[in-house]
Amino acid sequence: MTPPKPEPRADRVSLWAYLRLFRRDILSAQPARLYRAWMAEFRTPFFRSYLCNDPALIRRVLDERPGDFPKSDRVTEGLRPLLGRSVFVTNGEEWLHQRRIIDPSFEGGRLREAFPAIWAAAEAAVARMQEGEQEVELAASHAAADVIFRTLFSIPIEDQVAQGVFHEFRAYQRSAPILNLAAFLPVPRWFPRLHRAATLRSAKVIRGLITGLTNNRAAAIAAGTAPADLATKIMTTPDPMTGAPFGTAEMVDQVAIFFLAGHETSASALGWALYLLATHPEAQEKVAAEAAGLTPVFGTVAGLRFTRDVFREALRLYPPVPMLVRENRVEEDFRGRKVRPGAQVVISPWHLHRHERIWTNPDGFDPDRWATQEGREASRHGYLPFSSGARVCPGAGFAMLEGTLLLAHLVRAFRFEAVEGCVPVPVAHLTVRAKDGIWLKVSRR
């Protein structure tokens, strides 16, 4: 069974029709030819946009000269009510300062330190799962949020404040469009961004709750009673260049993006992985057999090779962040075409991961491809679930550990089957989610 993907639009539509489609769902708004093209140009009255699938262009933008292609304000403006000046939206020296403080918390042995918290969250996810027809995206969101709070603040999702953030974030998801007015029009910086009232309200509540957690942790650090978790590590790490640590406001910004990136992306990938296994029972039984040997020690992860490849394949077919947008600062030549400064450069993991010239059977679910030389070669040129280069997600290893462990725990305990007539349709909100959720029949093994 071929996993579902959005039906691409006709190749030619008017600009205003395209903008309406784009705001509703950026995936189905794109033409089918982008699954074969190395590059495409989009013209609007205000700016040019270039989608790049050419691996050489992607390396230039993300790996070789990231300073010439900073993150575009056109996309990040819509997230500012929640994320403030977090590492996700900043550029230049401000971004470098933030990464110098954040990166040490995700280096090497930190995965081993985080393992007990992730294991506890996985066991809690199994305990919460109910039999019968279930919307598993919600269960995946709950589990991913639990991981974030346990590893960041040493509190489970059942904590009152954690519950408040989780439920308010779901409201934020529903109210926040993926793109703000500034994405399409040349809006000056002083002009109001016209965010929806519900979006502003949810962002204010979430940031208020996170501020309380951050202030409490700062007090515990001062008293010498703080647990040795990610929040403590980040808040006590000074910038090695300036000696300055994060202040409270800066830390609130970073916690907001940790929750958005760490919770939203992991939940998206886990939900789709469960659906893929439900529609491919042989692969599901292989995961269940592999997971039977799980033990609560870090070394057990090494035995989950196929499960990890299933999660990789879910990230390939349904990359949580479907598009990365940069803005070029100097005149460029892209495949013989002149690109002026100020143009938007779009790198689309969604199209790259299904590119017909890079992948064999690009739309098919095939976790075995990751054990082949051909699959590994394709991934070198066409696989960006966590971006690449200087702006690669610092929590990429953390996300792979989390996704693999949660998937193994759930499939070891339960059997998942597709519900007849309930085929999820992927759409891009903050991440790639199912339009009406992912409904599966759940039964205990």
In CATH terms, the superfamily for domain 15-78+111-159+257-444 is: Cytochrome P450 (1.10.630.10)
In our burial notation (b when 16+ CB lie closer than 10 A, e otherwise), range 225-235 reads ebeebbbbbbb
Segment (H or E) for 434: strand 432-434
For 358, other C-beta atoms within 10 Å of its C-beta total 18
Nearest alpha carbon to residue 236 among 136, 119, 104, 367: 104
Classify the phi-psi angles of 198: left when phi > 0, otherwise alpha if psi is within -120 to 50, otherwise beta.
alpha
43-52, 180-189, 233-242: segment of lowest average pLDDT: 180-189
Q: Is the model's pLDDT at 193 over the cut of 60? A: no
Length of the chain counted residue by residue: 445
Residue 178: is its pLDDT beyond 60?
A: no
Residue with tokens 């002083």: 190
Per-residue pLDDT for 240 more than 90?
yes
What is the sign of the dihedral through the CA atoms of 296, 297, 300 and 302? positive
Digit-coded pLDDT (tens) for 378-431 = 999 999 999 999 999 888 999 999 999 999 999 999 999 999 999 998 988 777
Q: Are 266 and 147 in contact (CB under 8 A)?
A: yes
Q: Dihedral sign for Cα 397, 401, 407, 411, please.
A: positive
Residue 433 sits at φ, ψ, to 5 deg, of: -125, 170
DSSP of 116-128, one letter per residue?
HHHHHHHHHHHHH
> Would you say residue 181 has pLDDT above 50?
no
Give one DSSP letter per residue of 266-286, joined into a string.
HHHHHHHHHHHHHT-HHHHHH
Q: Alpha helices of 154-278 — where are they, by DSSP H?
A: 160-175, 197-223, 230-235, 248-259, 265-278
* CA–CA–CA angle 195, 198, 199 (5° rounding): 50
Q: Is the pLDDT of residue 187 over 60?
A: no
When pLDDT is averaged across residues 157-185 and rounded to a whole number, the result is 69
pLDDT of residue 25: 66
Q: What is the mean pLDDT of the chain?
A: 87
| Residue 31: both structure tokens together | 């033409």
| Position 260 confidence tier, pLDDT thresholds 50, 70, 90 | confident
Which token pair is 275? 């659906």
Is 135 within 8 Å of 424 (Cβ atoms)? Answer: no
**What whole-number distance in Å separates Cα of residue 161 and Cα of residue 213?**
8
When pLDDT is cut at 50, 70 and 90, the band that residue 311 belongs to is very high
**pLDDT at residue 166 greater than cutoff 50:** yes
Distance CA 189, CA 267 (A): 33
Across the range 324-343, mean pLDDT stands at: 92
Residue 320, C-beta contacts closer than 8 angstroms, at least 6 positions apart: 264, 265, 266, 268, 269, 385, 431, 432
DSSP state of 33: G
Q: Give dist(CA 124, CA 118) in Å, integer.
A: 10
Torsions phi, psi for 419 (to 5 deg):
-95, 125
Q: What share of the chain is helix, strand, coil (3-state, %, to 5)?
A: 55, 10, 35
Q: What does the domain layout of the chain look like in residue ranges?
A: 15-78+111-159+257-444
**With 90 as the cut, is the pLDDT of residue 32 above it?**
no
Segment 44-62 mean pLDDT: 90
Q: Is the pLDDT score of 161 beyond 90?
A: no
| Rounded CA separation 275/284 (Å) | 10
For tokens 């989009």, name the residue. 42
Q: Which residue has the higher pLDDT, 19 or 407?
A: 407
